[in-house]
Amino acid sequence: MEITFRLNGDDVTVATDDPTLTLLDWLREDRGLRGTKEGCNEGDCGACSVVVTSRDGVRALNACILFLPQLHGKVVRTVEGIAAPDGTLHPVQAAMVERHGSQCGFCTPGFVTTMAAAHLAGATDHADQVAGNLCRCTGYAPILAACVDAAEAPVPDHMHDEPPATPAMVGTGAFAPRDGNDLAEWYVDHPDATLVAGATDVGLWVTKQFRDLGDVAFLAGCEDLKVIEQDADVIRIGAMVDMERLRHAVAPLHPQFAEMLRRYGSVQVRNAATVGGNIANGSPIGDSPPPLIALGARLHLRRGGERRDIALEDFFLDYGRQDRRPGEFVEAVTIPRQPDRLHVAKLSKRFDQDISAVCGAFNLPTTDGVLSGVRVAFGGMAGVPKRARAVESALEGRALTADVLRAAADRFADDFQPLSDMRASAAYRLAACRGMLMRLGTGSARSVMDLDAAGVAR
């Protein structure tokens, strides 16, 4: 296949028979651009961060889990392309020098590219922007100071890249559907193929498990699957909407959901990971299903010309098993419009970009002072994301009092028999669920950040 994109100001065409060749490996081994580092090789450390510009905007992404076909028709800047062609340092580079933001230097190229992407996008939430870049020797204070210093500087002209005009990706080894119809027609004939959306999960199948993915479809060209539609009744979120866009879309409606998503991976991961991927992989510790289930979301599935929709909680049948037929894919998810009564808590060992031990979502609407239409859902408590129906029953039709919460908390053991693993013991998980629910009695307006400060969701 032939893949064309713009690299550090120059158009390049790459001919390869390997659709899972990563940008990181190609940069280092084929182009000799070794400023992009291999650290974790799974999207956690940020040492491989690059700036990618497309018609969807500019974003920092992890090159280690970014396959070359995902870059067709886009613009890439590595650390070697951040300074101007005449050698003038980019404002973030100059600020890093001035603020002594580098010691050993291994992580510095990734910081610089991440900071340059944020600078180009006008993002000033500096701590969030670099949360996906790990530094073990400099410390973050001088790096964050450099972010602040550079923020007011104008964007250098050479950073205003326009994606090149490119033909459809040609060759064998991969399929790049133009839209959902194109995908539906192809996937029926290739039901065993791997669908690649953001590759934040699939990428690890290659870099860590060394799997051969067989037939591969890259979905970045399916613009119709990236649409968010809102009307008086529902919010419809296309399967290819990335988690960063989802975060901003739900923030005015359900702020605690959005705040939890701020801790979902890093900026680099949220810029790539998709709603459809987070649901379709069926992970019991995926962070978006619990709040979506608590909100009564419905999942839209498509196989060829046939469409169906189901309650999201019914999609997850058992560990590693979902209600999805061969050749069927997630097209969208819809959330019913409703007043915000959603409380979300994420329990993890690290605050930022860590996998949840437990993620709980409580939707607690009231009518005439009593709970009505209660929905409680958890991740990390079973082999699938799951509703806590016994807890819901104990809350339904009652006032939100400490006694009611205490009685309902005792029912978690009826709903869940969690496992013990490296993240938490079964007993701790049950205790955490109880604590999350009991906290709701201390003030229904408490945010997930308040819960963190109280030691519940950290």
State whether 227 and 358 are in the same domain: no
* Paired residues of 228 in beta bridges: 237
* Paired residues of 376 in beta bridges: 362
Number of domains in the chain: 3
Domain that holds residue 277: 223-336
State whether 308 and 442 are in the same domain: no
State whether 41 and 144 are in the same domain: yes
State whether 314 and 349 are in the same domain: no
State whether 119 and 70 are in the same domain: yes
Which CATH number belongs to the domain containing residue 90 in this structure? 3.10.20.30
Note the pLDDT of residue 164.
Answer: 84
pLDDT tens for the 458 residues of the chain, in order: 899 999 999 999 999 999 999 999 999 999 999 999 999 999 999 999 999 999 889 999 999 999 999 999 999 999 999 999 999 999 999 999 999 999 999 999 999 999 999 999 999 999 999 999 999 999 999 999 999 999 999 999 999 998 888 777 766 678 999 999 999 999 999 999 999 999 999 999 999 999 999 999 999 999 999 999 999 999 999 999 999 999 999 999 999 999 999 998 999 999 999 999 999 999 999 999 999 999 999 999 999 999 999 999 999 999 999 999 999 999 999 999 999 999 999 999 988 888 999 999 999 999 999 999 999 999 999 999 999 999 999 999 999 999 999 999 999 999 999 999 999 999 999 999 999 999 998 654 343 334 333 333 33
Tokens 């084929």 belong to 30
Which CATH number belongs to the domain containing residue 295 in this structure? 3.30.465.10
Which CATH number belongs to the domain containing residue 393 in this structure? 3.30.390.50
State whether 153 and 38 are in the same domain: yes
State whether 255 and 371 are in the same domain: no
Q: Is residue 202 in a domain?
A: no
State whether 161 and 91 are in the same domain: yes
State whether 322 and 366 are in the same domain: no
- Residue where one domain finishes, among candidates 321, 336, 351: 336
Among 305, 294, 302, 211, CA closest to 260: 294
Q: Is residue 228 in a domain?
A: yes
For residue 393, CA distances in Å to 240, 316, 389, 415, 433 come to: 35, 21, 6, 11, 16
Q: Is residue 147 in a domain?
A: yes
Tens digits of residue pLDDT in 107-125: 999 999 999 999 999 999 9
Tens digits of residue pLDDT in 324-374: 999 999 999 999 999 999 999 999 998 888 899 999 999 999 999 999 999
